[in-house]
Structure formats: C-alpha cells, structure tokens
Amino acid sequence: MDALLDVRNLRVTFKTPKETVQAVRGVSFTMGREKLGIVGESGSGKSVTCRALLGLIRPPGRIAADHLRFDGLDLLKIDSRQMRHIRGRRIAMVMQDPKYSLNPVMTVGAQIAEAYRIHARASRSIARRKTLEMLEAVRIRHPEQVYDAYPHQVSGGMGQRIMIAMMLIPDPDLLIADEPTSALDVTVQLQLLAIMDDLVQERGMGLVFISHDLNLVASFCDRIIIMYAGRIMEICNAADLQQARHPYTRGLLDCLPRMDTPPGKLPVLRRDPSWEEGAP
C-alpha cells in the first residue's frame, strides 16, 4: 500500500491564559486510497487531527509533528501559498452542517462553479456544465433547478450532497468528511454514504470519515482509528471491530442500546486514567 497520508507523532496544543490544552497528543497513522474511519467521543481530538492536516489550526493553536506527509510532501514544511494549492484541490473537507458551510446569499450552483473555477481556471460556461454534471453525480434529480436555488431552499440531505459536489469538483486525492451525516435522518444518511462510497471508489480517492457512531463506521469503512483524549487507543480493521480488545473500544460498544439484547441496565463506560497516559 503506497501511503497517501503518513502522519507521525502529531501534536496539537492550544495555549490559553489559564492552561495549555493538549488536544492531540502524539497521533501516528498511515493510510492509502482507502476508507479510514476515526471514531471517538466529543473532545477526543478527532476533528482537530483532521483540521491539522489541512492547516486549519489557528493561533493560539500550534501544530507539531515528526512529519505530516501527504503524497510524499511534508505539509509542515510548505508555505501558506503552497498549502492553498493543496487545500481544496488535493485535500478537501466536508463538514457536519451544510447550513453553516454554504454561503447563504449565493446560489448553490454559483458556489460550486466558483470552487471549480478557482482550481481549474475554466470559463463560466464550462464551469456551469461541470457543476451540473457534478450535481447529477451526487444524484440530485433536477440539477438545473437546484443550480439556481439558495441554500435555505434545500433540505439538510440535499445541502450535504451539494457540499460533497463542491468538494469533489476539483477532483481531490483525499476527502476528509467530519461527521457528514450526523445531522441527517438514517435513510438520508444511508443514501449519502452510498454516494460517497461510489465516488470515492470511481475516482480512487482516500477518504477519512470522522464519526461518533461506531457501528456506522464499522459498516462503512475499511479501517478504524479509535481515539480518546487526544491519543489513538487502537487501530483495527472494520470487520474485526466486534472483536476489538482495547477496554475503551469495548466500553463504547457495550454501552450502546441494542435491538437484539433484552433491555436492562446498560453497562456504563468506566474510564481508566491510564488511557490518557500510556501510548498504545
């Protein structure tokens, strides 16, 4: 497997007047063109890890790492101009809520076309054609109508399709999806995942899928990283999640209410202070 992404000892700290918060504490992993899931509770550092990859950590946040290699290029050593060429064109990111990620005063089509023209320097008419193709690729049935719609006129599921269309139109190598379906209904979520699944496979992209939903990630991704308190607890194949050994992973799995077990008291996660200390 050629490493598309090679992260070694990533640390992200936020210095505040009161204390220094270590959001990510020595995270290392590599990934190829596969679907990699990152799971953890709120505050586990999963989103910050991915924002660090895109250089989206603002002061007072600081990133440090042995290296942060993307396709052979160390993202920590390049300047902000080079970073702008990578961000969006080669690594794209879909965030949780399309309501806050889309520009409310610009039509959907114009926003997607803008994303294309910034990276491809194409004429307006080509950009429009590309945009309509892309809207069709995310299975929007009347792309012409949606092109001229404003974000408030579309549903949450469609908003997220639009975000995916916008992120994929420059044809990136790596897509980072940060809880892209958490705000959506289960059926809409399933359809959206199918769209991402197909596009990622067709285009041979890598996908980092951040979620708090262990079972969803296990059924969708190839490999899973389980994070707690800024550290990786365990990396396992998605198919083997039910056999996971780390007590934290086990605890997360056990405390979920399940359809196939009789009701009763749910096991509660007992947090072990050593999880925060010892590196796996």
Partner 1 sequence: MIRVRDLNVTFGRGRGAMHAVQGVSFDVGAGEIFGIVGESGSGKSTVLNALCGLNRRWSGTVTIDGETQSPQRSRAFHKKVQMVFQDPYGSLHPRHTVDRILSEPVAIHSLGKTEARVLQALEEVGLGPAFRFRYPHQLSGGQRQRVAVARALILEPRILLLDEPTSALDVSVQAEVLNLLTGLQGRRNLTYILVSHNLAVVAHMCRRIAVMNRGIIVEELSVETLREQSPEHPYTRQLLSASRGYDRAAAANIEEFETNTMEKKGHTPEVDA
Number of residues that bind partner 1 (CB under 8 A): 46
Q: Is 139 in the site for partner 1 (CB under 8 A)?
A: yes
In the region spanning residues 30 to 59, those forming contacts with partner 1, defined by CB under 8 A, are: 41-42
CB of 39 to partner 1, least distance (A): 10
User: Are 121 and 169 a contacting pair, CB within 8 Å?
Assistant: no
Distance CA 107, CA 86 (A): 25
Q: Is 142 in the site for partner 1 (CB under 8 A)?
A: yes
Query: Structure tokens of 54?
Result: 């895109």
Q: Which residues contact 240 (CB under 8 A, 6 or more apart)?
A: none
Query: Structure tokens of 6?
Result: 């090679």
Of the candidates 77, 84, 124, 258, which one interacts with partner 1 according to CB under 8 A? 258
Q: Is 126 in the site for partner 1 (CB under 8 A)?
A: no
CB of 123 to partner 1, least distance (A): 26
Question: Which window, 62-70, 82-90, 114-122, 250-258, contacts partner 1 (CB under 8 A)?
Answer: 250-258
C-alpha dist (Å) from residue 108 to 64, 93, 134, 135: 37, 17, 12, 10
Q: Is 219 in the site for partner 1 (CB under 8 A)?
A: yes
* 7 phi and psi angles, rounded to 5 deg: -105, 130
Q: Is 8 in the site for partner 1 (CB under 8 A)?
A: no
Q: Is 189 in the site for partner 1 (CB under 8 A)?
A: yes
Question: Which window, 89-97, 146-154, 162-170, 172-180, contacts partner 1 (CB under 8 A)?
Answer: 146-154
CB closer to partner 1 out of 74 and 240: 240
Specify the 3-state DSSP secondary structure of 47: helix
CB atoms within 10 A of CB 143: 19
CB closer to partner 1 out of 54 and 162: 162
DSSP per-residue codes, 48-87: HHHHHHTT-PPTTEEEE-SEEEETTEETTTS-HHHHHHHB
Instruction: Return the closest-CA partner of residue 27 out of 46, 51, 11.
Output: 11
User: Are 137 and 171 a contacting pair, CB within 8 Å?
Assistant: no
**Interior/surface letters 104-142, b for 16+ CB within 10 angstroms, e for the rest:** eeebbbbbbbbbbbebeeeeeeebbebbbebbebbebee
CB of 119 to partner 1, least distance (A): 27
Mark residues 147-186: x for contact with partner 1 by CB under 8 A, - for none.
--x---xxxxxx--------------------------xx
Q: Is 260 in the site for partner 1 (CB under 8 A)?
A: yes
Question: Which window, 24-32, 50-58, 82-90, 190-198, contacts partner 1 (CB under 8 A)?
Answer: 190-198
Question: Which window, 5-13, 50-58, 122-130, 207-215, contacts partner 1 (CB under 8 A)?
Answer: 207-215
Q: Which residue has the tokens 């995942």?
A: 193
CB closer to partner 1 out of 45 and 157: 157
The contact set with partner 1 (CB under 8 A) reads 41-42, 139-142, 145-146, 149, 153-158, 185-191, 193-194, 197, 212, 214-216, 218-220, 251-252, 255-260, 263, 265-269
